[in-house]
């Protein structure tokens, strides 16, 4: 492996330690001389597994919008000159083949990128593909109504979100959201007998349901998850606290009922400026005398100071001098007000935190 470009990362799913049972392994990815990439897992100096991907050194990544309304990151051969923005194509989506339109093409060919979670563009759409796309689109509406009626009849605690067919009509996929696990085996049998096709039911999270349904946020713009975001990141309450937001659910929750994705967008900026300001309770000196910090405005880079006579004044951080001690710390050591608060563990919110369960029936 010497002399080859390598990328080190942690692999969590493929292997687990037989001794400590910790699912963390060091793994390397390198570009193969003949093209493509290979991935190896190591425990110390012992190789415990490998995986190879042919031909990925000459690929280009792009984004497509499928006919069922979802965005996908796909890859295609870099020298394909016919694939342009706006071109119609057929992609091998995670569950079925779908008709899609190219919305973005990465101008730089990839070099050793792992394509495991990527979809492949199979071909440019033909006239036959366009005809099939219209046919399966027309079938989705009646199938959705049939499934909705059966859900009500069977009394299942689930909300049907989306229905779509594969371009080859080999399978129909029903996506739904629910509070917990749902026994939908009877529903699958009823659907298979009525539709006469392979049926897949998939439970998705509430954030995915909002992404599919779409909507407008409190900012007046289309939801980020349905307009440009490709995947969800973990959000926690600490991000809202660091930005000095009111923690009422109406302020920090989105249409899905979870913490807003936009809490993460400016979090790093707030954290960086926060470290440059003294903590509440710190003693400082300014032109008006010594005072104690009672509040802070991170973006304005200003402090609210309380003086000995109980006066309050807002002063810029560049106009104050930090003292070595704060009120209440007479021991001569560093002030506790200038020490960052420890990061207490907070519950995180993952994009796919809900159950993702599938069941097939002919």
Q: Quick: pLDDT tens for 302-345.
A: 899 989 888 898 988 888 888 854 544 333 333 333 333 444 44
Residue 268 inside a domain? The answer is: no
User: For 315-327, what is each residue's pLDDT tens digit?
Assistant: 888 888 888 545 4
Question: Per-residue pLDDT averaged across 213-217, rounded?
Answer: 89
Question: Per-residue pLDDT averaged across 274-291, rounded?
Answer: 88
By DSSP bridging, strand 198-203 and strand 171-177 are parallel
Residue 23 inside a domain? The answer is: yes
Residue 347 inside a domain? The answer is: no
Q: Which of 173, 203, 233 is the last residue of a domain?
A: 203
What DSSP character marks residue 264? G
Question: Per-residue pLDDT averaged across 278-290, rounded?
Answer: 88
Query: Do residues 20 and 65 share a domain?
Result: no
52-78 CB burial, b ≥16 within 10 A, e <16: ebeebbebbbbbbebbbebbbbbbbee
Return the minimum-mean-pLDDT range out of 23-32, 38-47, 260-269.
23-32
Query: Do residues 103 and 135 share a domain?
Result: no
pLDDT above 90: percentage of residues in the chain: 25
> Kind and range of the H or E element at 217?
none
Residue 356 inside a domain? The answer is: no
pLDDT at site 128: 93
pLDDT at site 118: 67
pLDDT at site 45: 64
Query: Do residues 47 and 61 share a domain?
Result: no
Residue 92 inside a domain? The answer is: yes
Residue 304 inside a domain? The answer is: yes
Query: Do residues 195 and 166 share a domain?
Result: yes
pLDDT at site 84: 83
pLDDT at site 197: 87
How many residues comprise the chain? 362
Query: Do residues 36 and 75 share a domain?
Result: no
Radius of gyration of the chain (CA): 27
Residue 231 inside a domain? The answer is: no
Higher pLDDT, 245 or 26: 245
Q: Which of 141, 173, 203 is the last residue of a domain?
A: 203
Query: How crowded is the C-beta side of 304, counted as CA atoms within 13 Å?
Result: 9
pLDDT at site 80: 65
Which residues lie closer than 8 Å to 341 by C-beta, 6 or more apart?
Answer: 279
- Inter-residue contact 66 to 100 (CB < 8 Å): yes
Query: Do residues 158 and 193 share a domain?
Result: yes
Domain count, the chain: 4
Domain that holds residue 319: 280-338
Q: At what angle do helices 185-195 and 127-154 cross, to 10 degrees?
A: 130
Q: Which of 203, 219, 243 is the last residue of a domain?
A: 203
Residue 163 has pLDDT above 90, yes or no: yes
Query: Do residues 46 and 76 share a domain?
Result: no
The most confident of 57-61, 101-105, 156-160, by mean pLDDT: 156-160
Phi, psi of 196 (to 5 degrees): 60, 50
Residue 222 inside a domain? The answer is: no
């Amino acid at each position: 492996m010497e002399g080859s470009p390598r990328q080190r990362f942690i692999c969590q799913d493929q292997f687990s330690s037989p001794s400590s049972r910790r699912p963390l392994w060091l793994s390397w990815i390198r570009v193969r001389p003949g093209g493509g990439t290979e991935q190896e897992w190591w425990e110390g100096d012992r190789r415990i597994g490998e995986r190879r991907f042919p031909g990925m050194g000459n690929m280009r990544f792009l984004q497509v919008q499928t006919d069922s309304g979802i965005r996908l990151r796909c890859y295609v051969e870099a020298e394909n000159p016919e694939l342009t923005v706006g071109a119609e194509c057929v992609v091998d989506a995670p569950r079925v083949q779908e008709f899609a339109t190219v919305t973005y093409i990465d101008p730089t060919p990839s070099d050793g990128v792992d394509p495991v979670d990527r979809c492949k563009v199979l071909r440019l759409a033909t006239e036959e593909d366009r005809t099939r796309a219209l046919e399966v689109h027309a079938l989705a509406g009646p199938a959705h109504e049939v499934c909705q009626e059966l859900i009500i009849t069977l009394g299942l605690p689930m909300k049907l979100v989306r229905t779509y067919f594969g371009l080859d009509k080999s399978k129909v996929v029903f996506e739904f959201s629910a509070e917990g696990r749902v026994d939908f085996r009877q529903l699958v049998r009823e659907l298979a007998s009525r539709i006469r096709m392979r049926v897949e039911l998939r439970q998705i999270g509430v954030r995915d349901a909002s992404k599919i349904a779409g909507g407008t946020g409190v900012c007046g713009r289309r939801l980020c998850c349905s307009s440009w975001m490709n995947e969800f990141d973990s959000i926690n309450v600490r991000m809202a606290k660091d930005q000095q937001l009111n923690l009422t659910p109406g302020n920090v929750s989105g249409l899905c009922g979870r913490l807003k994705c936009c809490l993460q967008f400016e979090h790093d900026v707030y954290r960086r400026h926060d470290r440059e300001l003294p903590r509440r309770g710190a003693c400082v000196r300014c032109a008006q005398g010594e005072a104690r910090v009672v509040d802070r405005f991170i973006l304005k880079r200003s402090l609210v100071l309380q003086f000995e006579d109980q006066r309050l004044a807002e002063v810029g951080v560049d106009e104050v001098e930090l003292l070595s001690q704060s009120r209440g710390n007479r021991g001569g050591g560093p002030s506790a007000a200038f020490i960052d608060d420890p990061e207490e563990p907070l519950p995180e919110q993952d994009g796919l935190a809900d159950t993702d369960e599938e069941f097939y029936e002919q």
